[in-house]
């Protein structure tokens, strides 16, 4: 019988540490080689780490939310054979780690306790002058009316209820109570990674935003025609594949927008490939899977690949390479609509495009009011390296292609 100590593996992509998201095994559990033992979140993705051996879990290190460094022992097993570790080299039992670890703020959920507002004996009932006047004219003693307003204030509807019921008891209505207490929610896992990335982006990047409205009436007609005549198995087209194709042409014309900015070296790295990050809201939080080499795809390939990567992000199967390598990001607010937004750039990229919903609107064309399908877009740019003219020009190029969709494919 021996002890096998397992170290936090090098997951790649320059990752030097990971956050414990979930343990799949308890101390004393019997595991087989390749059984999942631990979920670790890095800057790029959540990775499930399999067991390297058959054995019984002896010790494990780290609670959910703890950060483990690559190369440090995170779990040990009792195995048949000599093993690779002595008793002294194995991690301390989990109970000992807890005792020696720095104390973390205790997360306490305080249950709200109702505070019933009662009238003090002999206190003057709370009511507005108008309510007092009406009660006086109707011969109603306000002391016998239960108020439903803030702090027990008597309202006009309370007087109506009192008169309809004919007695103070029946007129009491539903009781109201004030609430107190708070609920603390720990910021761990993906939420902590999102917070760190947003802080890095907004603290390092000098954002400026630019908004535009695009007439997508012709694009909508083309989209409906293509969907009605698509081949069997082909994905249904939303606006995004057209926007992706238009961005390929637009970014070729404005290559300064398809770039990364290296803060430390102070170098702008322009990319030949167009790898579009697609911001995707999931049950676990925001992910940005990447459609790579969009410049080599046609419209239907864009739609299929976008569906594949976003589905992988939503179901948790997205690997590291699927969540890294973007050169420009699209975020779609979709059905939420909105008049505008100021999307935060996906560092170290230099721009991001936000797509709002399309809706029929009354607009003026040649002096006449007509109904057109309009879509608003929002964009943000790294003003350290992208001038306002450059960012605005890319949006205007995109507008030109989307308003005349045939030109996207010429």
Measured N-to-C along each axis, helices 129-138 and 156-165 cross at an angle, to the nearest 10 degrees, of 20
Told to judge if 383 belongs to the known catalytic residues of this protein, a careful annotator would answer yes
**Catalytic choice (43, 387, 390, 404):** 387
**Catalytic choice (24, 207, 271, 383):** 383
Nearest to 51 by CA among 70, 79, 72, 20: 79
Q: What is the pLDDT of residue 376?
A: 96
3 state SS for the chain:
CEEEEEECCCCCCCCCEEEEEEECCCCCCEECCCCEEEEEECCCCEEEEECCCCEEEEEECCCCCCEEECCCEEEEEEECCCECECHHHCCCCHHHHHHHCCCCCCCCECCCCCEECCCCCCCCCCECHHHHHHHHHHCCCHHHCCCCCHHHCECHHHHHHHHHHCCCCHHHCCCCEECCCCECCCCCHHHHHHHHHHHHHHHHCCEEEEEEEEECHHHHHHHHHHHHCCCCCCCCCCHHHHHHHHHHHHHHHCHHHCEEEECCCCEEEECCCCCEEEEEEECCEEECCEECCHHHCCHHHHHHHHHHHHHHHHHCCCCHHHHCCCCEEEEEEECCCCCCCCCCCCCCECEEEEEEEEEEEEEEECCEEEEEEEEEEEEEEECCCCCHHHHHHHHHHHHHHHHCHHHHHC
Domains of the chain, first to last: 2-100 (2.40.50.100), 115-178 (4.10.320.10), 189-409 (3.30.559.10)
pLDDT in tens, the chain (410 residues): 789 999 988 876 567 788 888 899 999 999 999 999 998 887 667 788 899 999 999 999 888 888 888 888 999 999 988 888 765 454 544 444 444 444 444 444 444 444 434 555 556 777 777 778 888 888 888 887 888 876 677 888 888 877 776 655 444 445 567 888 888 888 887 788 888 888 989 899 999 999 999 999 999 999 999 999 999 989 999 999 999 999 999 999 999 999 999 999 999 999 999 999 999 998 888 899 999 999 999 999 999 999 999 999 998 888 888 999 999 999 998 777 788 999 999 999 999 999 999 999 999 999 999 999 999 999 999 999 999 999 999 999 999 999 999 999 99
Q: In what order do the strands lie in the sheet with 17-23?
A: 46-50, 36-41, 17-23, 67-69
Q: What is the pLDDT of residue 97?
A: 43
**Two tokens, residue 243:** 């926007």
Q: What is the pLDDT of residue 342?
A: 94
Q: What is the pLDDT of residue 106?
A: 45
**Two tokens, residue 406:** 């045939």
């Amino acid at each position: 019988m021996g002890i096998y100590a397992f170290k936090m593996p090098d997951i790649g992509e320059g990752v030097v540490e990971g956050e414990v998201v979930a343990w799949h095994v308890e101390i004393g559990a019997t595991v087989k080689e390749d059984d999942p033992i631990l979920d670790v979140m890095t800057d790029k993705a959540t990775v499930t780490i399999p067991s390297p051996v058959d054995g019984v879990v002896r010790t494990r290190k780290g609670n959910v939310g703890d950060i483990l460094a690559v190369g440090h022992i995170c779990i040990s097993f009792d195995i048949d054979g000599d093993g690779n570790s002595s008793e002294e080299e194995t991690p301390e039992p989990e109970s000992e780690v807890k005792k020696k670890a720095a104390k973390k703020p205790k997360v306490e959920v305080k249950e709200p306790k109702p505070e019933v507002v009662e009238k003090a004996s002999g206190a003057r009932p709370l009511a507005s002058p108008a309510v007092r006047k009406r009660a006086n004219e109707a011969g109603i003693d306000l002391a016998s009316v239960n108020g439903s307003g803030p702090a027990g204030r008597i309202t006009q509807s309370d007087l109506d209820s009192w008169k309809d019921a004919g007695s103070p008891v029946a007129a009491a209505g539903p009781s109201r109570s004030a609430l107190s207490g708070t609920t603390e929610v720990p910021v761990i896992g993906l939420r902590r990674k999102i917070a760190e990335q947003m802080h890095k982006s907004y603290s390092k990047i000098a954002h400026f935003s630019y908004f535009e409205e695009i007439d997508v009436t012709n694009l909508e007609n083309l989209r409906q025609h293509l969907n009605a005549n698509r081949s069997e198995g082909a994905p249904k087209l939303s606006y995004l594949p057209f926007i992706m194709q238009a961005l390929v042409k637009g970014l070729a014309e404005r290559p300064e927008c398809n770039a990364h900015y290296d803060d430390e070296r102070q170098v702008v790295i322009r990319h030949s490939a167009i790898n579009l990050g697609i911001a995707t809201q999931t049950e676990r939080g925001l992910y940005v899977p990447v459609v790579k080499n969009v410049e080599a795809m046609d419209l239907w390939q864009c739609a299929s690949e976008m569906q594949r990567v976003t589905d992988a992000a939503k179901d948790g199967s997205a690997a590291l390479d699927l969540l890294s390598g973007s050169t420009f990001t699209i975020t779609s607010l979709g059905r939420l609509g909105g008049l505008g937004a100021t999307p935060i750039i996906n560092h170290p990229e230099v721009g991001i495009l936000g797509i709002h919903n399309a809706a029929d609107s009354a607009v003026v064309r040649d002096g006449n009011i007509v109904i057109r399908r309009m879509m608003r877009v929002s964009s943000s740019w790294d003003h350290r390296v992208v001038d306002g003219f450059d960012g605005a020009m890319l949006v205007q190029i995109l507008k030109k292609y989307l308003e005349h969709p045939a030109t996207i494919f010429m």
